[in-house]
Structure 1
């Protein structure tokens, strides 16, 4: 389908002027807005649209001034630096061969609207390149809005609704109610976009809002009634005119031949060296980048420079290690932006003043395009004598289009943190393509460390600068914003340089392993932005409920302490392992069942559980510890972790935490809230939905057993799941020779223990202890189980053998777990490796499945961001917060995508629930 691009030239000129630093050419003429607009034109020309027009406002009054003489009356005169760039802008646009349209008596919006509607009706695909919200009223099939400076796109009713809370046909009514301060259109006082959207959601249109004005209570209702007389005029002023008389149509807007001589003169005059190079090379774009270097620019003061002063800066042949530059001037920034614009991929890293991405302030950014060279862009270093740095907001605005360009691949090390920081500073990152931490993790998940320092040493033989070397240690450690710029540059630029070098090393290794490459490309990398969104969404908690629970737990801890004192016959510190050892093993003479690595008696949970049947005191101590852990970890701590800006708790998910691929979480750890105890479930009651919304929980049913059935292909196990039976009852019926309906509770419990225990390598001794039966009886249960499910026994033996031969096992999707001790080490180490070999394919496949589900669900939720959020992932469960009337839409869409996340030989079943809090929904 042919495409028409309509560029809102006036809008982009103003936005580029205010967004970019005040750049000048060698003669001192202002060029900042020119660079911004021409860079956008360059990108547009590279897309080769069939038709294109650059539309600007004509001088003089329009029909809106006749309707309302005060229209735009409060606009200040155009700044002189901007006025000086209008004529050269038009000269460049004309020389590029683009038609320039301006029509007397109407605004550029009306010309664009008329052309766009005509083109859509003629079967032409239309893109309006603008940052003006008014154009949202035009969105329909075949007509999209693209903000080239931010990278955002609106091309459907859903995308408009997500941004404004109304449909495209309601935008005019929304604007009429809100008014427009820029155009001096007074709306309803104190009526912002949310209030206007709320009224339109309830009443449907401006006319109906006016008709029901008497029903709206409070001060805002008074304000509405006071504005009723001007709302019809407001609607007329904000409506884009769609019937402007034009001399031609879309088909007359083809590109003309470029005037190369004029372009060359203009590019030379305004210092657009890259555009000049493109022109001389015959590039069809022939455009400029906002990152153009100016002749004769200064080097970074006092720092080794990787960027030369001529047009051949950033020559790929330059590869001297450690060549790092500090960006301090607009000329250096221009050079940096040129290099990023001209590269297919670049590494970046953020420097901040906090490890918490939801609190951190951006101090600087580093970038690397070539190995052994990098730059550091300081933005907020504050210390006596610190050099002047580029203004942060304007500099970030200049970088924003590059970060938003999905065609530019971005590389990072544990980049989810950086995505958070940039988002909080107004920059959305598209095209986050590679993460060295995840490349290392997928290559060998069993390795304990995937941080940059360890990876640099392991793969590059390189010792990185440590944070303590530039910021100090302990109480004397300073914030990075206080680190001197020469030290900061060496440290920060090295991060991006090493990231780039590591990526190129690890990428080659992954390419040699197609299965691992698929895990990395199809699961781990797409999950990064999903997790960033979940973390940013956060979860609301009821702090008062947690405080009530803390008080209750404290009382019960005191009761447990008193009972323990009575049982011991003396006072002692329940939290002291040394005092517990003396009491339990010396005074009470209880047997030592578990020892520490140094050979001393242990008092950990396993050790106390092992002797709990021999004396009541270990049970009481275990109860006390459980209560204390809940209180210190959750009920006391969570209220203090509510983010002051969002009012929510934000956990951090770790992709490279567990060797099997399972996600873990921290700060707070929400994966370990006990679910089998009443106290643990009570904590979930404090995870709540805000008014008008509900908590929705969707949980895979017995997913690892289903994976066992798939991997083992055991007919009995497969049949139980295919029939939809209670698998534990079905197992008990097989093992004990009963009809399903005759299975007792104890028999089901035994079958359940065997089903799950075998996956984790439970021995007859472990099963006997869990069921409270003799070891011989437990061994008979296991033997009987394998006789009824021989496929499971065969799978386990087959997996052990494959692990011994290959040194690793794999999930259904190809994730690999290396087993270092499968053929060496002590007997205990080999036994542990065999247990891991059996369990890892099931647990790892379950991890892969829920990650795939999260990616699929997140993609669907993108069209409903205002109505539902994914807020938690806990093991095999996804938790959402949704508008009450959207729950019925959400549930089938989510459960279907979760069920379709893998194709197994048995069905994936998803249980779901809805409630005002997480406990009710679970």
Structure 2
């Protein structure tokens, strides 16, 4: 039986995978979709072919190409996307780790290498399978050389197979004639010009009849249609050049040893480490190996008795740094925010040799373990742990200033990641690949060791990047303020919530009836497909946008139609009520605890800008745009004997913009405490201040806030329902009015391009990788991020400073009042009635003095018996 070799066109398959799969990045920000797609195609091919030999050929992207004489024409080749370019060397390293032979040779392209190898291997009696996305290689097909062309669609890979007979059937020409076919019809994907005016069908008829472009040219006067004859005569030079470009060299000379291509076990330890690094977790099951063993595991110890545990804690006394974790009983090692009965023990690490997993047992009570951990933590210079907030129920923190939340530190250094677990930090900061199949005690030791060892590295990096003070003075104190807020929770009147839901249900039913009457039939209003048919086919409403799945019924489409079509207006209203009922009226009820309060989670490592986010439930997304939406705030009520005090920063982002830009006109307007939107309208629209209309003020307000978010003329035109030209003039006039802002925004974008990140007044960095993207839309998004991040990030830092100050003052002054909610620029205090004036003064002082800007920080403050009244 003949042996088989598989030859893969490396760049071609990487390119197909890159454009066939959505963008993927690992935790280090490395793009990985092309590598992942290449590997899935590789595994599919190997499973189907089971070859004895395998080689991957790559192009050498140097000045010398296969057809150097046509370099000027080839120079029109579209440059490789940067996100793909960075994956090429990674792909080569992964293949090397898998023991797969790769070849490349200056002066030769990959298809020359593959063409020569396929011809040589066929002569040696081997079966050859060539894998490429380039149809030029169909010219290599024979009875023993199969060309396989993969296609990746929606994550699925399909492969077209061509032997010589298949090429003939598909294109009506032989493989050797396929070169001439390409010479006539061209191939834009490979920059083969072809002959203008001759398409694929005409080219095929010509080559079927004359078999070569030379013979066709000799019979040019006979070619049909006449324009093909004229094209052949007029552009013969292009035809000749195209044929040479399309012809693969099957007699190239380059060093190659077949024995080196022998396919052995590709699932090596080195490959496993790469798959871990790239975070291809669903491919790891293919490996029957462990990650390369780490020497540090030799110093991991499992403790199960009191005497040994006492010795560990005695040894840990006075350690400079304590790394720790707390783990659940008989479950995965996870951060815990639950009853102590579920705790299985702790992990502790405090020197290069001391890393322990201490389990609970008959003589090892969890309460004693946590007491001992709290005690040694207080004596250390640095107590390092992942996700400290989730552990504060279990620990008695005596010295907040020595606590080091590893999760928060890792987040500050790279706020674009989705998680910051100990495996990621171990890999990124310590170069450790942790085996997923490790015993539980090993994982516990790793988490504690990673906290211990990585905290020093992270702290050094925070110093290098100028974020140490941001970490120690803002983010770490914030951990405790958020914890207190979560524990306090906010009280909800469940009866009022049910009544609110019932009112919404009545509105929804009434709207359903009206919509059905106008449509003339009942249908599923929540089905975009059915709704599209009703609106754009049955009712013939103009403006429908047909997509592959039907008509678009997105909000932006319907909002344009609503003024002229009552049914559309009612559908938008229906959607609004349905959202309010499902998300708030029904959704919030599920989160009310036994104490009648909602204890939501507030996260500080989610957003890239530094803003706090809220989950379980999202209390920061309570509606504010409509009166019915705002009514939901009435169900949030204080405890008996308390009232709500709500304080909200006034235009904080615009004030930050004024300070950062140093624009004299904007700073003066704020110092004079005048209506900033009316002043802007007066100056932008060139009318006296007193004559500014309400509409002009609204437009100026949209421009003011739009500028903060890097709005484009298109975006502003959509917001104000004006032409793009009018919007562009608004923006131009705005920048003429406030020239300092234009200068600041331009500098912000240039800084982000030069440094790779935007930065706030407090040193917070937001990486902006989009600015180096080959995609115009991505780059445009990156520019908006570069403009907005310094503003939004600084505002987020200021509200955090205010929260920390307010929470601290309430506790230092022994008040019963408590901080219960933070919503963007707003703080909500549940104030004991006799403490209201004290609380107001604390809010005023801590919020208005949170930062020293060139313009005053001002707050709006109200009280009420529910959140609606207080707002």
Task: Report the secondary structure of 2:409's partner residue.
Answer: helix
Give yes or no for contact 1:732–1:747 (8 Å, CA) kept in 2. Answer: yes
Give yes or no for contact 1:367–1:497 (8 Å, CA) kept in 2. Answer: yes
CA distance in 2 between partners of 1:415 and 1:735 (Å): 50
The question of 1:376 aligning with 2:328 is answered no
Give the superposition deviation at 1:447.
3.2
Distance 1:801 1:488, change over 3 A: closer
Task: Report the secondary structure of 2:850's partner residue.
Answer: coil
Aligned to 2:419: 449
The question of 1:500 aligning with 2:455 is answered no
Give the superposition deviation at 1:579.
3.0
Q: 1:393 aligns with which of 367, 375, 396?
A: 367
Distance 1:786 1:431, change over 3 A: closer
Task: Report the secondary structure of 1:688's partner residue.
Answer: coil
CA distance in 2 between partners of 1:329 and 1:540 (Å): 44
CA distance in 2 between partners of 1:378 and 1:330 (Å): 10
Distance 1:347 1:591, change over 3 A: farther
Give the superposition deviation at 1:362.
4.1
Task: Report the secondary structure of 1:894's partner residue.
Answer: helix
Alignment of 1:456-467 (within 5 A): 456-464=426-434
The question of 1:629 aligning with 2:603 is answered no
Aligned to 1:347: 323
Give the superposition deviation at 1:369.
1.4
CA distance in 1 between partners of 2:452 and 2:549 (Å): 46
Distance 1:396 1:813, change over 3 A: closer
Distance 1:683 1:843, change over 3 A: same
Give yes or no for contact 1:406–1:430 (8 Å, CA) kept in 2. Answer: no
| Structure 1 gap ranges (5+) | 1-317, 380-386, 471-486
| TM-score, structure 1 normalization | 0.59
Distance 1:647 1:828, change over 3 A: same
Aligned to 1:807: 756
Aligned to 2:191: none
Distance 1:565 1:322, change over 3 A: farther
Distance 1:454 1:781, change over 3 A: same
Aligned to 1:574: 525
Aligned to 1:526: 477
Q: 1:553 aligns with which of 500, 504, 510?
A: 504
The question of 1:338 aligning with 2:314 is answered yes
Give the superposition deviation at 1:359.
5.9
Give the superposition deviation at 1:533.
1.1
The question of 1:672 aligning with 2:672 is answered no
Task: Report the secondary structure of 1:674's partner residue.
Answer: coil
Alignment of 1:199-348 (within 5 A): 320-321=296-297, 323-348=299-324
Give the superposition deviation at 1:858.
2.0
Q: 2:467 aligns with which of 494, 498, 516?
A: 516
Aligned to 1:287: none
The question of 1:689 aligning with 2:638 is answered yes
CA distance in 1 between partners of 2:761 and 2:542 (Å): 44
Deviations 1:393-445 (A, max 9, x none): 34444444335x2655221112211113446xxx7674552122211221122
Give yes or no for contact 1:378–1:389 (8 Å, CA) kept in 2. Answer: no
Aligned to 1:491: 443
Task: Report the secondary structure of 2:827's partner residue.
Answer: strand
Give yes or no for contact 1:557–1:627 (8 Å, CA) kept in 2. Answer: yes
CA distance in 1 between partners of 2:658 and 2:419 (Å): 33
Aligned to 2:680: 731
Task: Report the secondary structure of 1:902's partner residue.
Answer: coil
Distance 1:582 1:422, change over 3 A: farther
CA distance in 1 between partners of 2:588 and 2:428 (Å): 38
Give yes or no for contact 2:759–2:790 (8 Å, CA) kept in 1. Answer: yes
Alignment of 1:792-871 (within 5 A): 792-871=741-820
Give the superposition deviation at 1:753.
0.6
Give yes or no for contact 2:336–2:391 (8 Å, CA) kept in 1. Answer: no
Give the superposition deviation at 1:547.
0.7
Distance 1:511 1:774, change over 3 A: closer
Distance 1:506 1:618, change over 3 A: farther
Aligned to 2:491: 540
Deviations 1:443-480 (A, max 9, x none): 122334333333333334434465xx69xxxxxxxxxx
Give yes or no for contact 2:321–2:452 (8 Å, CA) kept in 1. Answer: no
Give the superposition deviation at 1:594.
7.8
The question of 1:410 aligning with 2:383 is answered yes
Task: Report the secondary structure of 1:446's partner residue.
Answer: coil
CA distance in 1 between partners of 2:653 and 2:320 (Å): 41
Give yes or no for contact 2:531–2:553 (8 Å, CA) kept in 1. Answer: yes
Give the superposition deviation at 1:883.
1.0
Give the superposition deviation at 1:388.
3.9
Give the superposition deviation at 1:588.
5.1
CA distance in 2 between partners of 1:614 and 1:530 (Å): 50
How many residue pairs match? The answer is 573
CA distance in 2 between partners of 1:599 and 1:829 (Å): 26
Give the superposition deviation at 1:360.
7.0
Give yes or no for contact 1:319–1:373 (8 Å, CA) kept in 2. Answer: no
Distance 1:331 1:453, change over 3 A: same
Give yes or no for contact 1:593–1:610 (8 Å, CA) kept in 2. Answer: no
Q: 1:883 aligns with which of 818, 832, 839?
A: 832
CA distance in 2 between partners of 1:626 and 1:744 (Å): 30
CA distance in 1 between partners of 2:789 and 2:356 (Å): 42
The question of 1:419 aligning with 2:370 is answered no
Aligned to 2:698: 749
CA distance in 2 between partners of 1:594 and 1:659 (Å): 34
Deviations 1:331-380 (A, max 9, x none): 0221121133231221122224797826675412222213575322333x
Task: Report the secondary structure of 1:855's partner residue.
Answer: helix
Greater Cα offset, 870-879 or 352-361: 352-361
CA distance in 2 between partners of 1:851 and 1:781 (Å): 34
Task: Report the secondary structure of 1:321's partner residue.
Answer: helix
Aligned to 2:707: 758
| Structure 2 gap ranges (5+) | 1-293
Give the superposition deviation at 1:870.
1.0
Give the superposition deviation at 1:599.
9.0
Give yes or no for contact 2:601–2:617 (8 Å, CA) kept in 1. Answer: yes
Give yes or no for contact 1:319–1:372 (8 Å, CA) kept in 2. Answer: no
Distance 1:588 1:398, change over 3 A: same
Give the superposition deviation at 1:889.
1.1
CA distance in 1 between partners of 2:379 and 2:822 (Å): 27
Task: Report the secondary structure of 2:751's partner residue.
Answer: helix
CA distance in 2 between partners of 1:411 and 1:892 (Å): 36
Task: Report the secondary structure of 1:685's partner residue.
Answer: helix
Give yes or no for contact 2:327–2:335 (8 Å, CA) kept in 1. Answer: no
Give yes or no for contact 1:422–1:428 (8 Å, CA) kept in 2. Answer: no
